Amino acid sequence: MGKLVSISTRDNVVILEIDNPPVNALSRQLIEELSRQVDAFLDMPDALGLVIHGAGRTFVAGGDIADFERPDFSPKRLNDTLLRLEGSLRPVVALVHGTVLGGGLELAMACHHRIAATGTRFGMPEINLGLIPGSHGTQRLPRLVGLGPAADMIATGKMIGVEQGQSLGLIDAVSGKDDLLSAGVAAVKKLAGAEPRRTSALNVAATGADDLSSLEAKVAASPGQPAYDAALKSMIAARDMGFADGIGVEAELFADLVKSPASRALRYQFFAERTAMKIPGLGDVSPRAVETVGVLGIGTMGAGIALAAALAGFPVTLVEVDQAALDRGMNRVQDTIGGMVKRGRLGEAEAAACRARMTGAVGLEALGKVDLVIEAVFEDMQLKCDIAASLGNTCKPGAIIATNTSTLDVDVIAGKTGRAGDVVGTHFFSPAHIMKLLEVVRGDKTAPDVLKAILAFARKIGKTVVVSGVCYGFIGNRMAEVYMRESERMQLEGATPGDIDNVAEDPGTWGMAMGPSRMLDMAGVDVGARTVIEWIKSGEGPQDPSYRILCREMFAADLHGQKTGQGYYRYEGRKALPNPATHDLARDLAGKYGVDRRDALSREEILERLLFPMVNEAARILEEGIAYRGADIDVVWTNGYGFPRWRGGPLFMADEIGLQKVVDRMDYYARETGNAWGYWDVSPLLRRLASEGGRLSDWENGNGNEGTP
Ligand code: NAI
């Protein structure tokens, strides 16, 4: 391996280059070399000063996250180096370009002067891993930019650009990328001889924006996420203490955070999302080329999918059954684009370019030339099969045919095309241009180059992918089904939708973005009920007459959620209020189906009954080889269902609670309820891992484990 850090000299100025592609991350070895080369510079008495720059497309874009997992991890080596660097009696200039993040920004701030290339972006993303900056960043940043802006950057992880960086005092000068080195050498010559301006010696910059109340509010609203509190404490230290004491406070806070459950969970998520893209058994075939996209059925989902593709630069053909439906679909897409422009999420020029990439058409023939067709017509097996047969004939040879079905058997649909190798499931989440998750359904016959093409396409449109095998509801909705079942059952027993949602949404207990009832009210009780009804009718679903009876009866009573103004809740505008009609219905159904009512269910029972059965279902999903890894399942839930990332996902959360406790409580509820329909049967994998002290989130199929991915 070549050197990661090298030095050379120009005009008596030492140039230190960091070269660790792709993003010059501060790995252990790099820190060692940096430390040695800084010392080498300090030992060159004749040198005028030092410039530090990054080779390739960026300055240092952060630390090496894998390092945090080492038991002996400590930022001390880097931090000592930064102190020696800053202590230099001769000027040290940072030349930054690309994305200057985390440890990269901390390195730049330890320098005496910062010159940025136009277009450079700066940020402290540690909070996304449940951490604060741990290499003096919490103490140097407020000294340069002021308390309020520093608190904002550290607590949100948001990046700022050159203009803002300059106006806040984070950078001293701007230069074209190609002139950066000469600007740096010139700056050293100019600064040589004068006392260096050390960030640590500055007072916290007076910006007038030193109010920490929004961070205080965030701390209060975020139990279980100690990084916010640590961010606040480090800001107070920067305000009230000298630098030496401040970095002592930071070091203690940082060391505690690295061990905190929230940070461990967030780091686990970070790696899980990357690993989920790795699909075993694909060999080294090249992906099929996808340059053009067609979407069939421009309803709720089709509109979002077409938009996601067009926003990413794909030419998209949008096809509907007739002109009126096409007009509705195109209007829907236009409205969404208009809304994005209005909210500042999309510029006028980008919006125009996106519109220009979309062409509407009536009839399947328009899809004859595209590389990838995504079908998003009604969830009706007969219709999907008819369409599959037509697409099999119409699409050009080698074109990929994807179905957005959320529950139907992808293998059956694939069979109807007469070219099952070309078919794959692409289960988007609503709204499809916003939600990160794409659950890719690998059919029995899906060709490896098709799967690879979909993974590449997903990456281009900014989605996080998890691959699922074929089963009812795939990974996500199959688990959501048992979660909804228990939510509704508890309502029959006497809990209100509000009681249940509060437990799910309270970050002190769990922290879901939305509880089960609020979620179904938003998605449409009718949509949920229809799927359940079809599933039961097919004979595959549970034949228990009381199975999800509340949702089925709400559907019959037009309590469809937000769209009808009444569902689990009653809506005044967007405000959700208790809905007596649904409470009465639950009570009546309890009477009809012989369910004992109680005044209230404890928060503990609500949590256990929502979480544990879905974890148990996940274990079955692993046993059946429907998912490759436990971590994939967690990625589905954090990216598609609003599960809090800082709890890692349902399996990580269950592992933290302890699998033996999960099993014991499942057994307890089996005894309590009589378990007539087997809802509380514990999966053998779960029972075994519990007795062996294993973890579901670590489980991988293949590699000698059971399951047939
Ligand atoms: P939707 O009812 O909003 O839209 C379906 C569209 O398909 C309509 O615009 C209809 O005109 C069109 N269509 C029907 N027959 C057609 C034909 N023969 N040719 C061309 N277009 C035709 O339905 P939605 O909600 O967008 O669902 C579409 C698919 O996506 C379904 O398979 C559904 O299960 C799935 N899905 C839905 C989600 C949701 O949250 N709504 C989430 C994930 C998947």
Query: What was the pLDDT predicted at 662?
Result: 98
Residues 645, 637 contacting (CB under 8 angstroms): no
Q: Measure the CA–CA gap between 679 and 486, rounded to whole angstroms.
A: 10
Convert the pLDDT of each residue in 150-180 to its tens digit: 999 999 999 999 999 999 999 999 999 999 9
Q: Active-site residue 126, yes or no?
A: yes
| Ligand 1, atom 1, residue with closest C-alpha | 299
Query: What was the pLDDT predicted at 362?
Result: 97
Average pLDDT over residues 303-313: 98
477 within ligand 1 shell (Cβ under 6 A): no
Could you give the percent of the chain with pLDDT greater than 90? 94
Among 106, 273, 486, 608, which one carries the catalytic annotation? 106
Q: Measure the CA–CA gap between 353 and 346, rounded to whole angstroms.
A: 11
Domain boundaries, the chain: 5-259, 293-468, 476-698
* 4 alpha carbon – ligand 1 mean position (Å): 52
Among 17, 86, 126, 273, which one carries the catalytic annotation? 126
588 pLDDT more than 60: yes
551 pLDDT band, cuts 50/70/90, is very high
* 97 alpha carbon – ligand 1 mean position (Å): 45
Convert the pLDDT of each residue in 109-130 to its tens digit: 999 999 999 999 999 999 999 9
Query: What was the pLDDT predicted at 80?
Result: 98
Query: What was the pLDDT predicted at 642?
Result: 96
Convert the pLDDT of each residue in 499-532 to its tens digit: 999 999 999 999 999 999 999 999 999 999 999 9
Query: What was the pLDDT predicted at 584?
Result: 97
Query: What was the pLDDT predicted at 579?
Result: 98
* 465 alpha carbon – ligand 1 mean position (Å): 21
Average pLDDT over residues 620-638: 97
Average pLDDT over residues 578-596: 97
Convert the pLDDT of each residue in 383-394 to its tens digit: 999 999 999 999
281 pLDDT band, cuts 50/70/90, is confident
Whole-angstrom CA distances from 707 to 231, 293, 482, 539, 620 are: 44, 34, 22, 25, 10
The ligand 1 atom nearest the CA atom of 319? 20
The ligand 1 atom nearest the CA atom of 329? 9
Average pLDDT over residues 649-662: 98
Q: Quote the mean pLDDT of the chain.
A: 96
Q: Measure the CA–CA gap between 489 and 495, rounded to whole angstroms.
A: 9
Please state the pTM of the whole predicted model: 0.93
457 pLDDT more than 70: yes
660 pLDDT band, cuts 50/70/90, is very high
Average pLDDT over residues 258-278: 95
Convert the pLDDT of each residue in 465-498 to its tens digit: 999 999 999 999 999 999 999 999 999 999 999 9
Fold of the domain built from segment(s) 476-698: N-(1-d-carboxylethyl)-l-norvaline Dehydrogenase; domain 2 (1.10.1040)
* 517 alpha carbon – ligand 1 mean position (Å): 23
Tell me if 293-468 shares its fold with 476-698: no
Query: What was the pLDDT predicted at 2?
Result: 61
Residues 213, 204 contacting (CB under 8 angstroms): no
One DSSP character per residue, 251-312 reads HHHHHHHHHSHHHHHHHHHHHHHHHHT--TT-TTPPPPP---EEEE--SHHHHHHHHHHHHT
Query: What was the pLDDT predicted at 324?
Result: 97
Could you give the percent of the chain with pLDDT greater than 70? 99
Query: What was the pLDDT predicted at 707?
Result: 39
184 pLDDT more than 90: yes
Which mutation among 336, 406, 560 tests ligand 1's pocket best, with the greatest number of atoms within 8 A of CB?
406
709 pLDDT more than 80: no
Fold of the domain built from segment(s) 293-468: Rossmann fold (3.40.50)
Query: What was the pLDDT predicted at 398?
Result: 97
Average pLDDT over residues 190-217: 92
Residues 110, 136 contacting (CB under 8 angstroms): yes
Query: What was the pLDDT predicted at 173?
Result: 98
In the chain, the largest separation of any two C-alpha atoms, in whole Å, equals: 92
Convert the pLDDT of each residue in 607-618 to its tens digit: 999 999 999 999
Average pLDDT over residues 278-304: 94
The ligand 1 atom nearest the CA atom of 302? 26
Fold of the domain built from segment(s) 5-259: 2-enoyl-CoA Hydratase; Chain A, domain 1 (3.90.226)
Which mutation among 295, 296, 298, 301 tests ligand 1's pocket best, with the greatest number of atoms within 8 A of CB?
301
379 within ligand 1 shell (Cβ under 6 A): yes
Convert the pLDDT of each residue in 43-87 to its tens digit: 999 999 999 999 999 999 998 888 888 888 999 999 999 999 999
What are the backbone dihedrals phi and psi of residue 496, each rounded to the nearest 5 degrees, phi first?
Answer: -95, 160
366 within ligand 1 shell (Cβ under 6 A): no
| Ligand 1, atom 3, residue with closest C-alpha | 299
Convert the pLDDT of each residue in 217-232 to its tens digit: 999 999 999 999 999 9
704 pLDDT band, cuts 50/70/90, is very low
381-389, long-range: CB < 8 A, 24+ apart = 381/408, 381/409, 381/412, 384/408, 384/413, 385/412, 385/413, 385/416, 386/416, 387/296, 388/413, 388/414, 388/416, 388/417, 388/423, 389/416, 389/417, 389/418
Query: What was the pLDDT predicted at 613?
Result: 98
